[in-house]
């Protein structure tokens, strides 16, 4: 039997983002430094960030993480899609930590166990634990968190295959229960439309971002179902919006939007990226 290593080794460092610690730190800091927006009218409960290679989506992701720069959460839940060949509805890591070139981030195993228990009680299915997954969409956010946050934190990683509203609401409830008594941050990892011409992509993405800014997880799911807009992490996004609602969030603000074409100059087939925050203003 193969022994599972304590740390999940990064399968994407050096390809999806710079594998050299100093260069990675400098690049991520630059993305965050270059983000500029007016003061936010409340406390940030959650951020929504893209998950392409840093070269492509890093300038947009910088806006999301600039909004939490200097924050000191104890627990960060990163909720992402699962693009790889693991088909359980909800998936987490079998390792005890995620490794990036900037260091190891410990997984909060108590929180993972509690989410697993709550999902199992509610749905009859829990969190499947997998080892050495190649999923990029969760890991790609970690260097941003490592550079933006001012405290050491523990990670609650959840990768989502479920698509139905009942299951996603249950995940949102479980996340809210875990977070409510902690200093926390929620992160929804999602890109927007994929491989449409720029003008068409911008129209699709504008509709999806309207639903996000309306704080409508149901609208996010319906927009995807109806083909009026797309987000590859729409299920993860909806779950985080439901969690943030239960935690008292009342406002969503989109901070930045761009496409891969804005980086490459190729507008024939682009991927959309958005950055947003969920706020508690009351």
pLDDT tens profile 66-101: 999 999 999 999 999 999 888 899 999 999 999 999
Which residues partner with 44 through β-bridges?
A: 279
Is residue 13, in this structure, part of any structural domain at all?
no
What does the pLDDT look like over 114-138, one tens digit per residue? 999 999 999 999 999 999 999 999 9
**For the residues 125-154, what does the mean pLDDT come to?**
97
Q: Give the pLDDT of residue 3.
A: 81
Is residue 228, in this structure, part of any structural domain at all?
yes
Q: Give the pLDDT of residue 268.
A: 98
What does the pLDDT look like over 177-226, one tens digit per residue? 999 999 999 999 999 999 999 999 999 999 999 999 999 999 999 999 99
pLDDT at 166 over 80: yes
For tokens 């995940």, what's the residue?
Answer: 171
Is residue 7, in this structure, part of any structural domain at all?
no
Q: How many other β-carbons are positioned within 10 Å of the β-carbon of residue 156?
A: 27
For tokens 């797309």, what's the residue?
Answer: 230
> Exposure of 36 by Cβ count < 10 A (0-12 exposed, 13-18 middle, 19+ buried)?
exposed
> What is the number of structural domains in the chain?
1
Collapsed DSSP state (helix, strand, coil) of residue 251? strand
Domain containing 49 equals 42-280
117 vs 103: CA distance, rounded Å: 30
Q: Give the pLDDT of residue 4.
A: 87
28 vs 22: CA distance, rounded Å: 10
Q: Give the pLDDT of residue 282.
A: 86
CATH number at residue 254: 3.40.830.10
**For the residues 151-178, what does the mean pLDDT come to?**
98
**Bridge pairing between strands 7-8 and 97-100:** parallel
Q: What is the mean pLDDT of the chain?
A: 97
Q: Is 219 left (phi over 0), alpha (psi -120 to 50) or beta?
A: alpha
Do 145 and 66 touch, CB atoms closer than 8 A? no
Is residue 1, in this structure, part of any structural domain at all?
no
pLDDT at 2 over 60: yes
Is residue 11, in this structure, part of any structural domain at all?
no
Q: How many other β-carbons are positioned within 10 Å of the β-carbon of residue 153?
A: 21
What does the pLDDT look like over 16-46, one tens digit per residue? 999 999 999 999 999 999 999 999 999 999 9
Collapsed DSSP state (helix, strand, coil) of residue 234? helix
**Tokens coding 63:** 């806006």
Q: Give the pLDDT of residue 1.
A: 53
**For the residues 236-242, what does the mean pLDDT come to?**
98
Collapsed DSSP state (helix, strand, coil) of residue 198? helix
Is residue 28, in this structure, part of any structural domain at all?
no
Q: What is the pTM of this model?
A: 0.97
Q: Is 251 left (phi over 0), alpha (psi -120 to 50) or beta?
A: beta
Is residue 16, in this structure, part of any structural domain at all?
no
**For the residues 158-166, what does the mean pLDDT come to?**
97
Is residue 23, in this structure, part of any structural domain at all?
no
**For the residues 232-243, what does the mean pLDDT come to?**
98
pLDDT at 277 over 60: yes
For the packed helices 109-123 and 165-179, what is the interaxial angle rounded to 10 degrees? 140
Do 95 and 6 touch, CB atoms closer than 8 A? yes
Q: Give the pLDDT of residue 27.
A: 98
């Amino acid at each position: 039997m193969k022994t599972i290593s304590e740390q999940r080794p990064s399968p994407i460092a050096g390809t999806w983002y710079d594998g050299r610690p100093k260069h990675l730190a400098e690049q991520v800091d630059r993305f965050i430094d270059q983000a500029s927006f007016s003061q936010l009218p409340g406390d940030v409960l959650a951020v929504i960030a893209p998950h392409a290679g840093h070269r492509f989506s890093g300038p947009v992701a910088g806006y999301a993480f600039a909004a939490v720069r200097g924050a000191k959460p104890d627990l960060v839940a990163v909720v992402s899609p699962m693009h790889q060949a693991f088909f359980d509805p909800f998936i987490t890591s079998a390792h005890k930590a995620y490794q990036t070139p900037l260091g190891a981030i410990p997984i909060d195993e108590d929180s993972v166990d509690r989410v697993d228990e709550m999902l199992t009680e509610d749905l009859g299915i829990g969190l499947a634990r997998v080892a050495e997954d190649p999923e990029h969409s969760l890991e790609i956010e970690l260097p941003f968190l490592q550079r933006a946050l001012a405290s050491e934190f523990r990670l609650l990683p959840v990768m989502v295959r479920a698509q139905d509203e009942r299951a996603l609401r249950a995940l949102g409830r479980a996340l809210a229960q875990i977070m409510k008594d902690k200093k926390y941050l929620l992160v929804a990892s999602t890109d927007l439309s994929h491989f449409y011409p720029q003008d068409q992509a911008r129209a699709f993405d504008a509709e999806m971002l309207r639903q996000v800014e309306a704080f409508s997880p149901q609208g996010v799911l319906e927009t995807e179902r109806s083909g009026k807009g797309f987000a590859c992490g729409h299920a993860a996004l909806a779950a985080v919006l439901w969690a943030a609602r239960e935690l008292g969030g009342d406002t969503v603000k989109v901070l930045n939007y761009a496409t891969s074409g804005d980086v490459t100059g190729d507008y024939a087939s682009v991927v959309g990226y958005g950055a947003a925050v969920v706020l508690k203003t009351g």
